[in-house]
Amino acid sequence: MAVSNFTRRAVVGLIAAAGLAAPAAAEVDFSGKTIEWVIPFSETGGSAKWANFFAPLLSEALPGQPTVVVKFMPGAGSTKGANWFQEQNHDDGTLLFGTSGSTQFPYLLSDPRVRYEYNDWIPVMASGTGGVAYLNAEDGAKFDGSANALKDTNFIYGSQGATRLDLVPLLAWQMLGMNVEPVFGIKGRGDGRLMFERGEANIDYQTSSGYLGGSAPLVEAGQAVPMMTWGALDADGNIVRDPTFPDIPTFKEVCEATDGCETSGEAWDAWKAFFVAGFPVQKLAFLPGDTPQEVVDAYTAAFQAVTERGDFADISSKRVGNYPVFVGEGSKSALQTATNVDDNAKQYVLNWLKEAYGVELN
pLDDT confidence tier of residue 105, bands split at 50, 70 and 90: very high
Q: For residue range 311-340, what is the model confidence (pLDDT) as tens digits?
A: 999 999 999 999 999 998 999 999 998 999
Percent of residues in the chain assigned helix, strand, coil, to nearest 5: 45, 20, 40
- With 0-12 / 13-18 / 19 or more C-beta atoms within 10 angstroms meaning exposed / middle / buried, residue 343 is exposed
Q: What is residue 237's predicted lDDT score, i.e. its pLDDT?
A: 87
Q: What is residue 25's predicted lDDT score, i.e. its pLDDT?
A: 47
- With 0-12 / 13-18 / 19 or more C-beta atoms within 10 angstroms meaning exposed / middle / buried, residue 331 is buried
Q: For residue range 174-202, what is the model confidence (pLDDT) as tens digits?
A: 999 999 999 998 988 999 999 999 999 99
Task: For residue 355, count other CB atoms closer than 10 A to its CB.
Answer: 9
Q: For residue range 78-101, what is the model confidence (pLDDT) as tens digits?
A: 999 999 999 998 889 999 999 999
Which amino acid is it at 14?
L
Q: What is residue 87's predicted lDDT score, i.e. its pLDDT?
A: 97
- Alpha helices in the chain, H assignment, sequence order: 3-18, 46-61, 79-86, 101-108, 137-140, 167-175, 189-197, 208-210, 216-220, 251-257, 266-278, 293-307, 312-319, 329-338, 343-357
pLDDT confidence tier of residue 23, bands split at 50, 70 and 90: very low
* Contacts of 333-336 spanning 24+ positions with Cβ under 8 A: 333/13, 333/14, 333/16, 333/17, 334/14, 334/17, 334/123, 334/126, 334/281, 334/284, 335/118, 335/123, 335/126, 335/281, 335/284, 336/10
CB distance 175 to 255 below 8 Å: yes
Kindly indicate whether the domain formed by 131-276 is annotated with CATH number 3.40.50.11540.
Answer: no
DSSP-derived 3-state class of residue 112: coil
Instruction: Quote the DSSP letter at residue 183.
Output: E
For the cut 60, the answer to whether the pLDDT of residue 15 exceeds it is: no
The fold for domain 3-129+278-343 equals D-Maltodextrin-Binding Protein; domain 2 (3.40.190)
For the cut 70, the answer to whether the pLDDT of residue 9 exceeds it is: no
Q: For residue range 124-169, what is the model confidence (pLDDT) as tens digits?
A: 999 999 999 999 999 999 999 999 999 999 999 999 999 999 999 9
Distance CA 33, CA 295 (A): 14
- Calculate helix-pair angle for 79-86, 101-108, nearest 10 degrees: 80
Q: What is residue 349's predicted lDDT score, i.e. its pLDDT?
A: 97
For the cut 50, the answer to whether the pLDDT of residue 286 exceeds it is: yes
CATH 3.40.190.10 location in the chain: 131-276
pLDDT confidence tier of residue 283, bands split at 50, 70 and 90: very high
pTM: predicted TM-score of the whole model, two decimal places: 0.85
Residues of the chain with pLDDT > 70, as a percent, come to 93
Please enumerate in sequence order all residues whose Cβ is within 8 A of that of 308, keeping only pairs 6 or more positions apart, or say none. Answer: none
Q: What is residue 137's predicted lDDT score, i.e. its pLDDT?
A: 98
CATH 3.40.190.150 location in the chain: 3-129+278-343
Q: What is residue 5's predicted lDDT score, i.e. its pLDDT?
A: 43
Distance CA 297, CA 286 (A): 13
Q: Mean pLDDT across the stretch 256-279?
A: 96
Length of the chain: 362
Q: For residue range 29-58, what is the model confidence (pLDDT) as tens digits?
A: 999 999 999 999 999 888 999 999 999 999
What are residue 183's phi and psi, to 5 degrees? Answer: -100, 105
Which residues does residue 225 pair with via DSSP β-bridges, in sequence order? 135
For the cut 70, the answer to whether the pLDDT of residue 22 exceeds it is: no
Q: What is residue 20's predicted lDDT score, i.e. its pLDDT?
A: 47
